[in-house]
Amino acid sequence: MALEGTDIFPRLERFYDAVPRDAAVAEDIGEFVLFVRQGAGWPYYARPKLGGQTPSAADVTAVRARQREAEAPEEFEWVHETTPDLLAVARSAGLDVLLAPLLVLDRAALVPDLPVPGATIRFLDPAADRFAADVAASRAVGRLGFGAPATTPATSTAGTLILEPAGPAQRDAVPTPGEQLVADQRRRHASGRMISAVVESAAEGIVACGSVQRVDGVAEVVGVATLPSARRRGYASQLTANLARRSLQEGDDLVFLSAGDDDVARLYSKVGFRRLGTACIGSPASSAALG
């Protein structure tokens, strides 16, 4: 696909607006739409209305109040190139804003399907008996890869306290998700709205995970994470390439992702993604957190 296509940003806006609607209630608050999750699904964001005006600082404050009332994360997401004036507004309203590189797949540059050392890549099957276990392991890997400390205390044979990367034992100790969440994941996968894959080692089990969310020919690669003990083996890169390739095979013609920073973006560029813009993720600054 041509990365300079003029319809990419409008398609991304429609995608961001559509993804939450089968699992959340959309509430219009000023120039934002807030997606309030229903049941055990993923907590969603607030973002500018499709075709609306730039939200105001008062809109930000009103959304945050509603998010606290709904016990939802106070999080805002938007694409800078689509709503450029919102960055200054968000900061003036007390939000810290992560500027995440927004990358789109250049189909011609997608790396070939290569084996991963010491492991295999497997796509999750919502009809399989092991689907619930796969979801549990994937969520645990994601939690350790993104949010939990990457190291755990251990004691050497000499009695010295050392730090070891979190591995299979810590993954298996993460509480399993409830039945409702697994059922929601099964439904989304069975509908084709989501595709997930894992990197699995015979010795270590599931060591990396990732998914794509799909709507109307647009696919977003999300949640790519590696167990800290299994990093630097190329798992995340090859998993991302496989997810992108599967999306193309399923008929999606626009595949994109947001990288956490420029270093991560450079890794994805080696897979075949090219930077198109900036995804903004706003959350309360520590000094401005309310209640």
Could you tell me if 80 and 118 lie in one domain? Answer: no
Q: Tell which residue, 71, 42, 46, 19, has the closest CA to residue 282.
A: 46
Residue 212 lies in a domain: yes
Could you tell me if 143 and 20 lie in one domain? Answer: no
Could you tell me if 74 and 126 lie in one domain? Answer: no
How far is the C-alpha of 250 from the C-alpha of 234, rounded, in Å?
25
Q: Please tell me the predicted confidence (pLDDT) of residue 289.
A: 43
Element (H, E) at 242: helix 235-249
Residue 2 lies in a domain: no
Residue 1 lies in a domain: no
Could you tell me if 93 and 125 lie in one domain? Answer: no
Q: Write the CB contacts of 131 (distance below 8 Å, at least 6 apart in sequence).
A: 124, 125, 182, 185, 186, 189
Q: Which tokens is 69 given?
A: 């009332």
Could you tell me if 113 and 226 lie in one domain? Answer: yes
Q: Tell which residue, 238, 239, 233, 243, has the closest CA to residue 203.
A: 233
Could you tell me if 112 and 213 lie in one domain? Answer: yes
State how far the alpha carbon of 240 is from the alpha carbons of 4, 206, 211, 221, 279, in Å: 22, 15, 9, 7, 19
Residue range of the domain that includes 119: 108-271
Q: Please tell me the predicted confidence (pLDDT) of residue 114.
A: 84
Could you tell me if 115 and 253 lie in one domain? Answer: yes
DSSP-derived 3-state class of residue 252:
coil
Residue 85 lies in a domain: yes
CATH number at residue 188: 3.40.630.30
Could you tell me if 254 and 168 lie in one domain? Answer: yes
How far is the C-alpha of 240 from the C-alpha of 212, rounded, in Å?
9
Q: Please tell me the predicted confidence (pLDDT) of residue 164.
A: 79
Residue 129 lies in a domain: yes
Could you tell me if 53 and 80 lie in one domain? Answer: yes
Q: Write the CB contacts of 23 (distance below 8 Å, at least 6 apart in sequence).
A: 37, 38, 39, 41, 42, 44, 184, 188
DSSP-derived 3-state class of residue 93:
coil
pLDDT along the chain (291 residues), means of 10: 69 96 93 87 88 97 96 95 98 97 97 90 98 97 77 51 81 93 94 97 96 97 95 94 98 97 94 97 71 38
Residue 3 lies in a domain: no
Q: Please tell me the predicted confidence (pLDDT) of residue 241.
A: 97
Work out the number of other CB atoms within 10 angstroms of the CB of residue 32.
23
How far is the C-alpha of 263 from the C-alpha of 236, rounded, in Å?
14
Residue 46 lies in a domain: yes
Q: Please tell me the predicted confidence (pLDDT) of residue 285.
A: 83
Could you tell me if 119 and 151 lie in one domain? Answer: yes
Residue 276 lies in a domain: no
State how far the alpha carbon of 78 is from the alpha carbons of 21, 32, 61, 223, in Å: 17, 10, 16, 18
Could you tell me if 145 and 237 lie in one domain? Answer: yes
State how far the alpha carbon of 84 is from the alpha carbons of 43, 45, 87, 268, in Å: 25, 18, 6, 25
> How many domains does the structure of the chain reveal?
2
Could you tell me if 45 and 119 lie in one domain? Answer: no
pTM: 0.89
How far is the C-alpha of 6 from the C-alpha of 263, rounded, in Å?
27
